[in-house]
Amino acid sequence: MQRRRFVDITSATATLGRNQSGSVIRFDRAAGIVITLPTARAGLWYDFLVKTSVTSNAYEVEAAGTTKVGGALVNSKDDTASKSFLGDGSSDTKVSMNGTTTGGRVGTYFRAFCDGTIWHIVGDNASSGSEATPFSS
Amino acid sequence: MDNRIRVKSITDDVTLGKNDSGSLFVLKSADGLTVTLPTGGRGLFYDFVVGTSVTAPDKYEIKTQTADKIRGVLVNSRDDTASKSFVATSSDEIDMDGSTTGGLIGTGFRLVCDNDGVWNVFGLNGSSGSEATPFA
């Protein structure tokens, strides 16, 4: 039987290690968390889910150094048409979720893969209000 | 020791092997390419992301072997725009043209083969323009 390793983040900042690749990283601090990904290396991957909705500041996943972030996140509102946002992989460096329009609420689940050059982010991002992009530089 | 998955960049037409199962394939050719899946087998799975957006009229094509089919859902995701989902019940290919049928950076999906030789797909498909089905 295979099981996934869960890592609960409850501090304001955290830097992931390569040895945590394959883990499910849980956001668990309503006052926000900034998570820094490790230096880009092909094959690293992490799943992220929100255990506690962020209510102040933001939940952020940022690339280290000059590495960029690409991908797609669907900002999902309950019982409402969804809106997608694309990260361009050339200028975006992070995913930032504010607890409302840019997501970061319970229900959020996405995966980050590294191809050795950029991080690809794919998944669902539970949001509210008028959706806005979670990708930024 | 880190738990990494195998990553393989694809820049030209290729037929995948069963021993490639579990790998992440990065599609990297603006001129398009064709990926042919192996004969379906229970538990085989492949992840795909787009590293270079394909430029129409070229395409990224993911094809099954003749006897196999594709089922599942892809959400054609346009930036800052309502999404549209497309459902496959018995398709032979996923065709992404760099615009309406997807294949832009942002695309990421998985194909998992079940007991019946059916490839089940789920994920997001970065697209633009008036979305159209990537399934053929």
- Whether the CB-CB separation of B45 and B21 falls below 8 Å is answered with yes
Phi and psi angles of residue B18, each rounded to the nearest 5 degrees, phi first:
-65, -30
pLDDT over 90 percentage in chain B? 93
- What is the least distance, in Å, from the CA of B9 to any CA of chain A? 8
Shortest distance between the Cα of B15 and any Cα of chain A, in A, equals: 20
* Mean local confidence (pLDDT), B21-26: 96
> What span, in angstroms and rounded, lies between the C-alpha atoms of B51 and A84?
18
Q: Where are the domains of chain A?
A: 6-132
- The pLDDT of residue A110: 96
Q: What is the per-residue pLDDT for A2?
A: 72
For residues A30 and A58, give the distance between their C-alpha atoms in angstroms, rounded to a whole number.
Answer: 9
DSSP states of A58-97? -EEEE-STT--EEEEEEEE-TTS--EEEEEESSS--EEEE
Q: Cβ(B92)–Cβ(B118) under 8 Å?
A: no
pLDDT at B133 over 70: yes
pLDDT at A81: 86
If you average pLDDT over residues B103-126, what whole number do you get?
94
Which chain A residue has its CA at the smallest distance from B47's CA?
A113
Rounded CA separation A37/A58 (Å): 16
B88 within 8 A of B70, measured Cβ to Cβ: yes
Furthest C-alpha separation in chain B = 45
For residue B63, the enclosing domain spans 7-126
Name every residue whose Cβ is closer than 8 Å to that of residue B122 and which is 6 or more positions away in sequence: B72, B73, B74, B109, B110
Cross-strand pairs, A95:
A61, A135
Question: Is the ipTM, as predicted for this complex, more than 0.90?
Answer: no
Q: Is there a domain that residue B136 lies in? A: no
Tell me which chain A residues have a C-beta less than 8 angstroms from the C-beta of B125. 72
Residue B135 lies in a domain: no
A101-129 confidence digits (pLDDT tens) = 999 999 999 999 999 999 999 999 999 99
Q: Which two tokens stand for residue A32?
A: 């926000």
| Sheet containing strand B118-126, strands side by side | B7-10, B24-28, B45-52, B104-113, B118-126, B69-77, B84-91
Q: Kindly report, residue by residue over B25-39, the tens digit of the pLDDT.
A: 999 999 999 999 999
Phi, psi dihedral angles at A19 (to 5 degrees): -75, -5
**A51–chain B nearest CA distance, Å:** 22
Q: CA A49, B104, B35, B5 torsion: positive or negative?
A: negative
Residue B74 is assigned to a structural domain of this protein? yes
CATH number of the domain within which B65 lies: 2.60.120
Residues B57-96 have pLDDT tens digits of: 999 999 999 999 999 999 999 999 998 999 999 999 999 9
Query: Does residue B133 lie within any of the structural domains?
Result: no
> Residue B8 — very low, low, confident or very high, per pLDDT cuts 50/70/90?
very high
What is the pLDDT at residue B1? 55
Does residue B3 have a pLDDT over 90?
Answer: no
Token pair 């290396």 is at which residue? A41
Q: What is the pLDDT of residues A33-83, one digit of tens each?
A: 999 999 999 999 999 999 999 999 999 999 999 999 999 999 998 888 889
A-B Cβ pairs (cutoff 8 Å, strict)? 105
Nearest to B106 among A19, A71, A113 (CB): A71
pLDDT at res. B129: 94
In terms of CATH architecture, what is A6-132? Sandwich (2.60)
Q: How many domains does chain B have?
A: 1
Confirm or reject contact between B77 and chain A (CB < 8 A): yes
User: Which tokens in the block code for residue B89?
Assistant: 């019940």
According to DSSP, residue B11 is labeled -
**Once rounded to an integer, what is the mean pLDDT over residues B95-124?**
95
